[in-house]
Structure formats: structure tokens, C-alpha cells
Amino acid sequence: MVNINNMMKKISLLSLLLIGLFGCNKKEVIVLDFDVKPEKSSYKVGEAVNFIITGNPDQVLFFSGAEGHKYAYKDRTQAQSDQITLEFATNRRYGLDAQQPQSFRILASQTFGGTYTSAGVNPADWIDITSAFTLSGTQSTDVAYVSSGVVNLTSLTSLGLTLDKAKPIYFAFKYTGVTGTTQPRWWVNKFDIKTITTDAQVLPVASIATAGWTSVKVLATSPVSWIFGTDNILKFQGGGATVGSNQVWAISAGLSLTKVQPDTGVALKNMSTRMDAYQHTYTIAGTYTATFIASNVNIYGESKTMKEVQVNIVP
């Protein structure tokens, strides 16, 4: 006859052994022990701030608190503002205004259909805003660029530009040259659109590298095109007196005036390294909120903590 009492004792003993076995091998996320603080209460502009780090988290992400690197705006993709500015810079060489007047113009459109062909460019869709900006005079070197000045695009209603910030906007550099005399050469090495938010942040919207330029020969027989190369300079070479007439536009992609890049942080370490200090240099005086996000992550879960420290930067 089977001894039920002995069987129950064996089952209970086996259960206890299994519990003990799994209990001894239980895996957990290591609880974070992390802190950070600046070594001094204040630093000078250009002096490296030394952050002392204690604990050894697997990963650390750092937001300096400077423009474009604020933790509070890490997920922001839209920003509203009544100050949307444009600044570009030009270098002009060769040719005379008397012979080649208005060879370079800047135009804007919110009705351009996005067809980058001579037939797709209707001048009636475009507003000439050149008079709001400063253009280069004739220069003796390739490196002498003249700033257009920083112009608030929302202030150009007198020129016919009334912005609808819900719509994309296109910009065009229009080149016009007539055969028979030297056609000027125009280069553009800067094109910055920025929005200034209600809390005085200056956020990039587009640059010459991100605006997406396309050369369109509005005069189909134009012998020269706009060129945008790896040097991030938009170039129209012009030409001598025998070069055929040109009307060629460099047209940007459609740009959203409210879309901005989320603020970014810097990954300081991963689990294979140890970090006891980190240095960062601020270039503008002010009080910054530096944010450190520390975490331990494995297949069993995640442990994360955030530390914010005030950094005082003096002139």
C-alpha cells in the first residue's frame, strides 16, 4: 500500500527545493546608485565645467541646457512664433550693374506647386523680397561674403508677403544674365531660417545644407545652372560676353516655418565603460540646467533616474 503521508512529504520537500533553486537564480535590474554635481559653484565662459559623477550606471545621457540641448524640449517638433527670421550671405564677382541690372534676386512663394520645371515656375506665384535684404557688391576675392542682414519674414507684408504659417514656403534665388557683356558670378554660402519662441529661444528651421535646392532653367536655353556642392555653397558661375542669356532659379524645397528639430542630448557612456567625471564647456554666460539621465537596462527591466544641476557661467 502506498504511504500517502510519505508521498506528501516528498512533494513538499521537492517544492521547497525548487523555490530555493529559482530564488537563488532570480535576476533583477540593478538598482541605480547615481549622483552628479559640478566641482565648483561657478565657471567662466570657455572654462571646462567638471561634473563629478558617483555610481556606475550602465548608460548616461547628457543635456547641457544650452540652446538646442534642453531636456524639456527633447520631444518638441513644433514651435509657434511671430518672429521667423532669414539671413543669407552672398559673394558677387565680375560684371557691372549698368550692363547686367538686377542679376540676382530673392523671391518667396506659398503657392508654388512644387514642379521644378520651366513650365512649373509661374512668376505670378512669386513675391520679390530682395529690397528687404543687403546684397554683395563686386568683391575681389572668393571669400568675401556679405550678410543680407537678419530679416523677420513676418514683417514683409508691405512687399506682398503675408505668411500663412500653416503652409510650406518656398524660396528662390533668381539669376538673370544677358549675353553681350560679362554676366556676374554669384555665390551663396549661408541661408539660415530661425524661429524665436515666446520664451526667447532661437531655434533653427532650415540652413543652406537642409533647404533642398533645385536648379530650374526658366529660360530653357540658359547655358549655365546653379550648382550646390559638398562645400555647401550655392554657385552660379555667370560667364563672359559670349555666353548665352540666362534666367535660372535655385528653388528650395517646401519649408515648414513651425517645424523644428527636437533638442538633443549626448550619450556619455555605455555599460562597458566607467565614468567618474565629465567635462563640458559653455560659450555664453548664463545659468544653465544641465540634465543627466542615468539608466540600467537588461532583459528583466529598466531602472532609470534623472539628475538636474544648475551651472552658473560668468563672463
Higher pLDDT, 81 or 177: 177
Pick from 21-35, 38-52, 79-93, 130-144: least confident: 21-35
Amino acid at 308: E
pLDDT in tens, 150-162: 999 999 999 999 9
Q: What pLDDT score does 23 carry?
A: 46
Q: What pLDDT score does 89 carry?
A: 98
Q: Which three cell numbers stand for residue 241?
A: 560676353
3-state secondary structure of 9: helix
Mean pLDDT, residues 279-285: 96
Higher pLDDT, 58 or 49: 49
> CA 139 to CA 17: how far, in whole Å?
88
3-state secondary structure of 216: strand
The CA-atom distances, in angstroms, between 212 and each of 226, 234, 246, 250 are 13, 11, 22, 10
Which residue in this structure is represented by grid cell 539621465? 293
Mean pLDDT, residues 78-102: 92
3-state secondary structure of 84: strand
Instruction: Reply yes or no on whether the pLDDT at 229 is more than 90.
Output: yes
Instruction: Reply yes or no on whether the pLDDT at 223 is more than 70.
Output: yes
* Mean pLDDT score of the chain: 90
Residue 220 per-residue DSSP state: T
Identify each DSSP E strand in 55-129 by its residue range.
59-63, 83-93, 104-109, 127-128
Domains of the chain: 35-76+262-314 (2.60.40.10), 83-251 (no CATH)
State the DSSP H helix or E strand holding residue 203, giving kind and residue range, or none if neither: strand 202-206
In this structure, the number of other CB atoms found within 10 A of the CB of residue 99 comes to: 15
- The DSSP-derived string for 18-57 is HHHHHHHT---PPPP--EEEESSSEEETTSEEEEEEES--
Nearest to 79 by CA among 197, 199, 207: 197
Q: What pLDDT score does 19 carry?
A: 47
Instruction: Reply yes or no on whether the pLDDT at 47 is more than 80.
Output: yes
pTM: 0.70
3-state secondary structure of 264: coil
If DSSP states are collapsed to H, E and C, what string results for 142-168?
Answer: CCCCEECCCEEHHHCHHHCCCCCCCCC
Mean pLDDT, residues 240-262: 93
Residues ≥6 apart with Cβ < 8 Å to 315: 44, 45, 285
pLDDT over 70 percentage in the chain = 90
Pick from 30-34, 189-193, 236-240: least confident: 30-34
Residue 242 · residue 224 · CB < 8 Å: no
pLDDT in tens, 5-46: 555 555 455 554 444 444 444 556 667 789 999 999 899 999
